[in-house]
Structure 1
Amino acid sequence: MASGIADRAQGVAKEDYEKAKLLLNDAARSGSYMYPIKGIFYFFAHPELWKPLRSRIIPYFSLYSSVLGSMFFFTYLPQLALMAFVNGPLAVFTTALLILNESSTITGIVSRNYLLQDAILDTFDGTLVARNKSQVVAEGREVKRSGDAIQRLGKALKKPFGRFSVNELIRYVIYLPLNFIPVVGTVVFILLRGRSRGESVHDRYFQLKGWPSARRSKWLKEHRGPYTAFGTVATLLELIPVASVFFSFTNTVGAALWAADIEAKESKMADSTAPELREAAKKAE
């Protein structure tokens, strides 16, 4: 009996290991984990993309200060009592880091869905325009002929990113206790958050392309590794206190750069396939 359970557990572990290895291989081959870093450099190199961030920086820090102050006032002592069992004397510091993490995440969830939503939308669309993908952006908003990448953005014709998701908050609350497990728990927490974050980075791109829900789900399932890798790096950057708002925008730029590369790849595939189809049509005649 015991040996049978052990064999089954070993089989499950082996299966999970193989799945994880496939995901890591897909992520490594895609290079998706580099796009958040590319987003930082591209953002710095294109000052016109700073405009949406500048317009929201003061309201964001007002929100962040309110959340951070409330979290320290109401939750520091209760969490310190719990962390003391796990980390001993270091609990004073680890609890402070945990609250900084929590405050950054809560502020990020609220601000991305309300305070920063239009600014992030403009940053994503503006990056696509800067990458000469204005025809894609034109599927969801008016695009002017003159001006820089942001000035060319007109009225949005399609509904922007989805508003606040209760499921997102529930997942965060469920995953949060993992931080009480030293090292391993934090790593698992970040990976789970990264997977969830990765699933939403191209919501705007899918919207502009007019992809139905079934096609989006299929695409995300087929590219789970790359999106998890992107989401994990993006999550790590956005967990940095105070600087999280800056990385929210650079991650958006990175996601748009990735979308532009996907679009370019699809265009090349279409261009190479078209002559073959025409040739096949001639033969059929």
Structure 2
Amino acid sequence: MSSTVDNARTKAKEVAVEDFNKAKALAQSAAKSGAYLYPIKGIFYFLSHRSLWKPLLSKLVPTMTVSVGVIAFMFFFTYLPQLAILVFVNGPIAAFTTVLLTLSESSTIINLISRTFLIQDALVDTFDGVLVARHQTEVLAEGRQLKSGNFNDPIAKLGKLVKSPFEKFTPKALIRYVMYLPLNFIPVVGTVIFVLLQGKSRGNSVHTRYFQLKKWSNSQREEWLKEHTAPYTSFGTVATLLELVPFASIFFSFTNTVGAALWAADIEGNNTSMTELQNPKSQDEVKKAA
């Protein structure tokens, strides 16, 4: 009997060590890529480039109306019932975790409504506008007509869409979100895991437009995302946390889109190599390596 227990403990330690090493490797990969910084870079880039404000300003009134309505509804009708449940498992921090949960739910609903009905085209214009500003018109030409002439305004240079833009909020994403909700019943750790899982899902969608412009197949996209799980998860986690901010989620949806486009422009400028973002090689070096 004792030998069985000892074997179980040994196996448990081995699994724990293995999981820790995997988590450590993922964290190192995320840190090396610097992907988690792009949502922050997106904020500063957006604020310093007034021409990129046009798509947001054109949708500001309807999206703010939706945001205020959804957040008010969720806190009025769902906060107390969820608090009554979470207080049994989270104790004194239940008020805080319930706020996070309600904001997360509100953000999901707002994104579902706004991305499906209100800001889809505006986000695409923002993403494409950043690529123009970063002189990545060659890859952009695969999915959009560009007006001839010199434009100081990258949004003004955008012509008719050749290809359909971002994927809309999918039923699969909503189902996955509902499946992960019970994690919030686990004090602190459960909420952290929930946000990370949401970040992974969010990260997998930030470059849908870029992959489309690159004409990548589904298998190519999946392979790329699998190979770079940590960077995309780190980007998605920071983006998710920003979009939880009450009444500012739509603003951060646009700045996160800017960050994703900046990241895509850097990847494209570095010969589509994720690991070279910190120390980009010149084209001559890339050719020699090939």
TM-score (norm 2): 0.89
d(CA) in 2 for partners of 1:168, 1:93: 25
Paired position in structure 2 for 1:172: 177
- Deviation string for 1:109-163 (max 9, x for gaps)? 3322332111111100000000011111111010112431101111110111112
Alpha-carbon displacement from aligned partner over 1:214-267 (angstroms, at most 9, x marks no partner): 111111111111111111111111111111111111111011011001111108
RMSD (Å) for aligned C-alpha atoms: 2.0
Is the Cα–Cα contact under 8 Å of residues 76 and 96 in structure 1 kept in the other structure? yes
Look up the match of 2:73: 70
Q: Deviations over 1:19-47 (max 9, x none)?
A: 11111111111111111111111101110
* Stretches of structure 2 lacking an aligned partner (at least 5 in a row): 273-280
Residue 160 of structure 2 is matched in structure 1 by 155
AA in 2 matched with 1:55: S
Q: Helix, strand or coil: the match of 1:142?
A: strand
Amino acid paired to 1:258:
W
Conservation of the 8 A alpha-carbon contact between 1:36 and 1:230 = yes
Query: Is residue 124–residue 166 contact of structure 2 (8 Å, CA) maintained in 1?
Result: yes
Contact 1:32 1:230 in 2 (8 A): yes
1:109 correspondence with 2:112 = yes
Which residue does the alignment assign to 2:83?
Answer: 80
Structure-2 residue corresponding to 1:202: 207
Contact 1:179 1:186 survives alignment (8 Å): yes
Give ranges in structure 1 of 5+ residues lacking alignment: 278-285
On the 8 A contact 2:74/2:106 being kept in 1, the answer is yes
| CA-CA distance at 1:270 after TM superposition | 5.4
User: In the TM superposition, what is the alpha-carbon distance from 1:80 to its structure 2 partner?
Assistant: 2.4
Output the amino acid matched with 1:71: M
CA contact 1:105–1:239 (8 Å) conserved in 2: no
Fraction of identical pairs, as percent: 60
Partner of 1:56: 59
Q: Return the alpha-carbon distance in structure 2 between the equivalents of residues 90 and 229 of structure 1.
A: 25
Counterpart CA distance in 1 for 2:73 and 2:238 is: 28
Q: Which amino acid aligns with 1:183?
A: V
Q: 2: CA distance between counterparts of 1:136 and 1:155? A: 15
Q: Establish whether residue 41 from structure 1 lines up as the match of residue 44 from structure 2.
A: yes
Kindly indicate whether residue 267 of structure 2 is the aligned counterpart of residue 262 of structure 1: yes
Q: Taking structure 1 as the reference length, what is the TM-score of the superposition? A: 0.90
Contact 2:90 2:186 in 1 (8 A): no
Deviation per CA, 1:172-195, whole angstroms, max 9, x where unpaired? Answer: 112222223222111111111111
Question: Which of 3, 6, 16 lines up with 1:13 in the alignment?
Answer: 16
Name the amino acid aligned to 1:205.
Answer: Y
SS of residue paired to 2:107: helix
| 8 A Cα contact 1:113 1:162, kept in partner | no
Secondary structure in 1 matching 2:178: helix
When you count helix as a share of all residues, which structure comes out higher? 1
Please report how far the alpha carbon of residue 274 of structure 1 lies from its aligned counterpart in structure 2 after TM superposition.
4.6
Pick one of 106, 117, 122 that aligns with 1:119: 122
- Contact 1:197 1:231 (8 Å CA) reproduced: yes
Counterpart among 3, 6, 10 of residue 3 in structure 1: 6
Partner of 1:215: 220
Contact 1:104–1:242 at 8 Å: present in 2 too?
no
Select between 135-144 and 97-106 the one with higher mean Cα deviation. 97-106
Change (3 A) 1:273 1:32: closer
Letter in 1 for 2:253: S
Distance 2:173 2:89 in 1: 27
Residues 101, 241 of structure 1: 8 Å contact kept: no
Is 1:239 aligned with 2:239? no
Q: Give CA-to-partner distance per residue, 1:87-128, whole Å, 9 cap, x none.
A: 456645653443233212321233223321111111000000
Return the alpha-carbon distance in structure 2 between the equivalents of residues 90 and 263 of structure 1.
44
CA contact (8 A) 1:124 1:253 kept: yes
* Contact 1:101–1:240 (CA under 8 A) maintained in structure 2: no
Aligned partner letter, 2:134? R
